[in-house]
Amino acid sequence: MKFNILPRYFWLLTVALTISPATNAQISIRETTAGPATPSFENPPRLVVGIMVDQMRFDYLTRFWTQYGEGGFKRLVGEGFHCRNHHFNYAPTSTGPGHASVYTGTTPSGHGIIGNSWFDKETGTQVYCVGDTVQTSVGTESDAGKHSPHRLQVTTITDQLRLHHQRRSRVIAIALKDRGAVLPGGHLANAAYWYEGGETGNWISSSYYMDSLPDWVATFNESEAAERYRTPWKTLKGINSYAESGLDDVPYESPFQGEEAPVFPHDLPALWDANGNFDILRYSPYGNSLTLDFALEAIEAEELGADIIPDFLSISFSSTDYVGHKFGVNSKEVQDTYLRLDQDLARLLDYLDRKVGEGEYTVFLTADHGAGHVPAYLQDLKVPAGYWDTGQLGTKFRDFVQFRYGNTGIVQAFSNSQVFLDHQVLRSLDLSPREVQETLAAELLRYEGIQEVYTAYQLRNTEYTEGMAAILQNGYHQKRSGDVLIVPAPATPDYSPTGSTHGSPYIYDTHVPLIFFGKGIQKGTLTRRTYIRDIAPTLAVLLGTAFPNGATGLPVSEALK
């Protein structure tokens, strides 16, 4: 695009003369003839790399800072734009909704991915966020490839990039988890790949994208790349230097099958058969390294970033989530996983410098959710915490429903901390859905471990702008969500007594990193609050594309040159 500076000069001069002769006298020729800055979309990055770190709390960045090297997290922060007060503004904070929200620029209320799985009111069954029985697996005989984005109701920034460039942009999405690849890839991805694990350690896909694996993927699988990580997991540095984490042998962690205690070193080869063969790599930092190996091969084979039409690579590092669930946020295993991820990030940036060209690509790094401390650990420190016994709650709740209405059939399901009512049964009993919702909400609020309760009627008929209600409202989808929504008490999950989990609307689950880096990005730090739905609009402005069609977020304008 070219600009004609001369007409703009005469227009500015005319305006200045019209406004004020005195003002005009103070305007210099240099000021009026200076051309506009070149917009970022006129010379966009050749490649955008979206990095999702599964279950990364914000304070993993600061807590392990002194242990990180110079080329990974520190380079991203030092040379990029760091949003330090970045949050999810909805619940549940889980992997499926997290990946969908980052790439669509909206919340579950708009994109429809209300959980990793949920009770489907139309079929009366539990459905998986990317499950699709219409598809067939590619690269495996199992059902692990029967997935697609068909439940995602709006477009992604990756879709918009493909539409904008008449599908000449290439979009590849990669993750150990199927949902971590399928949802970022959107509806128009050239390919999405995920890890089968098990006895093969292969990368697979779905017939939604292709009929057979490309030669480069088949070659990668045949190279036994995963087999190279069949090695003991020892700490990267001396374990005594991991002062940022708790003790190694504690009752808050879960050992691998066959281990006497959850302590270093973890002898993965000896534990191989008892822990799902190649699946065990998911629960170690090696899963992230293998993901990066595959991603770098994708850049090379697919020639991503090789021309002036922007391409997009989505990488989701899933092992951080598996390790967090198994060992907890205060474990030495989590610290070691992040120190090794830091090395992988440095490896990625070095490769991009060489392959695409320094200053020719853009990266963003964020997370799909955070995580909380192990409640048992907090309890031992006399911090308020506990466990939500949904089994006991369910028995008590069913007894109440039977006593109050004489028919437990009015409750169809309990899913994702939501009560689903059978509206056909309600009609047959001539019961008002609103009144039943309010009665059940009042009863549930009496139970130990429950902090707040909201009804679907409240969320449909009241516009909340702050607080817990607003967070729940952003996660509430009118056609897919339940009738009564429950908020457990802080640090009171429905989970095992070992390892960390997530999903709540509390700040330990909502506060995650956001770093922009590379072409078109300012260097700096921002402390005002930003939201996960702001990422896709920021990228749309950078790339000059339309916003995803359901986007409700705002661009982080401070990050853009």
The string of pLDDT tens digits covering residues 98-144 is 999 999 999 999 999 999 999 999 999 999 999 999 999 999 999 99
> Is residue 373 domain-shared with residue 480, that is, in the same domain?
no
> Is residue 524 domain-shared with residue 405, that is, in the same domain?
no
The string of pLDDT tens digits covering residues 375-386 is 999 999 999 999
- Confidence band for 391, pLDDT divided at 50, 70 and 90: confident
Contact predicate 533/553, CB 8 Å = yes
In a domain, 42, yes or no: no
- Region 203-230: what's the mean pLDDT? 97
Question: Is pLDDT above 80 for 8?
Answer: no
The string of pLDDT tens digits covering residues 532-559 is 999 999 999 999 999 999 999 999 999 9
Q: What are phi and psi of 542, to 5 degrees?
A: -60, -45
Strands (E), 349-482: 361-367, 411-415, 418-421, 450-455
> Is residue 443 domain-shared with residue 510, that is, in the same domain?
no
Which of 436, 533, 418 minimizes the C-alpha distance to 472? 418
- Confidence band for 399, pLDDT divided at 50, 70 and 90: very high
The domain spanning residue 51 has which CATH number? 3.40.720.10
Half-sphere exposure of 418 (CA within 13 A, CB side): 28
> Is residue 103 domain-shared with residue 190, that is, in the same domain?
yes
Which of 524, 520, 559 minimizes the C-alpha distance to 543? 520
In a domain, 305, yes or no: yes
Kindly list the distances between the CA atom of residue 191 and the CA atoms of 54, 187, 290, 307, 466, in Å, as whole numbers in the listed order: 21, 10, 18, 19, 39
In a domain, 500, yes or no: no
> Is residue 423 domain-shared with residue 335, that is, in the same domain?
no
In a domain, 494, yes or no: no
- Region 415-434: what's the mean pLDDT? 96
Which pLDDT score, from 0 to 100, does residue 38 have?
A: 67
In a domain, 385, yes or no: no
Angle between helices 95-104 and 157-164 (to 10 degrees): 40
Which pLDDT score, from 0 to 100, does residue 19 have?
A: 35
Which pLDDT score, from 0 to 100, does residue 18 have?
A: 37
In a domain, 172, yes or no: yes
The DSSP H or E segment spanning 395 is helix 390-405
Q: What are phi and psi of 212, to 5 degrees?
A: -150, 160
- Confidence band for 392, pLDDT divided at 50, 70 and 90: confident
> Is residue 547 domain-shared with residue 465, that is, in the same domain?
no
Question: Is pLDDT above 90 for 461?
Answer: yes
Strands (E), 180-294: 191-195, 203-206
- Tell me, what amino acid is at 430? D
> Is residue 339 domain-shared with residue 411, that is, in the same domain?
no
Q: Which of the residues are catalytic?
A: 95
Contact predicate 92/416, CB 8 Å = yes
Pairing relationship of beta strands 361-367 and 514-518 according to DSSP bridges: antiparallel
The domain spanning residue 440 has which CATH number? 3.30.1360.150
> Is residue 299 domain-shared with residue 373, that is, in the same domain?
yes
Instruction: Compute the Cα dihedral for 327, 328, 331, 334 and give only its sign.
Output: positive
Which pLDDT score, from 0 to 100, does residue 36 have?
A: 59
- Region 312-338: what's the mean pLDDT? 98
Which of 84, 173, 83 minimizes the C-alpha distance to 521? 83
Which of 242, 279, 273 minimizes the C-alpha distance to 258? 273
Which of 247, 246, 245, 269 minimizes the C-alpha distance to 256? 269
> Is residue 418 domain-shared with residue 442, that is, in the same domain?
yes
Residue 191 makes CB contacts below 8 A (sequence gap 6+) with 172, 173, 185, 205, 209, 210, 214
Contact predicate 499/254, CB 8 Å = yes
Which pLDDT score, from 0 to 100, does residue 37 have?
A: 65
Which pLDDT score, from 0 to 100, does residue 389 have?
A: 86
Q: Which residues are registered as beta bridge partners of 171?
A: 312
In a domain, 41, yes or no: no
Question: Is pLDDT above 80 for 68?
Answer: yes
The DSSP H or E segment spanning 73 is helix 73-79
First-residue to last-residue Cα distance in the chain? 18
CA distance 84 to 94: 21
Q: Which domain holds residue 15?
A: 5-36
> Is residue 60 domain-shared with residue 79, that is, in the same domain?
yes
Question: Is pLDDT above 80 for 267?
Answer: yes
Q: What are phi and psi of 516, to 5 degrees?
A: -105, 145
Which pLDDT score, from 0 to 100, does residue 367 have?
A: 98
The DSSP H or E segment spanning 181 is helix 178-185
The string of pLDDT tens digits covering residues 29-50 is 333 344 556 676 789 999 999 9
CA distance 333 to 256: 12
> Is residue 160 domain-shared with residue 121, that is, in the same domain?
yes
CA distance 143 to 533: 32
The domain tally of the chain equals 3
In a domain, 498, yes or no: no
CA distance 56 to 342: 13
Arithmetic mean of pLDDT over the chain: 93
- Reading the block at residue 440, the tokens are 């059940």
Which pLDDT score, from 0 to 100, does residue 28 have?
A: 32
- Reading the block at residue 178, the tokens are 């199927």
- Tell me, what amino acid is at 334? V
Question: Is pLDDT above 50 for 509?
Answer: yes
Q: Which residues are registered as beta bridge partners of 525?
A: 82
Which pLDDT score, from 0 to 100, does residue 27 have?
A: 30
> Is residue 337 domain-shared with residue 448, that is, in the same domain?
no
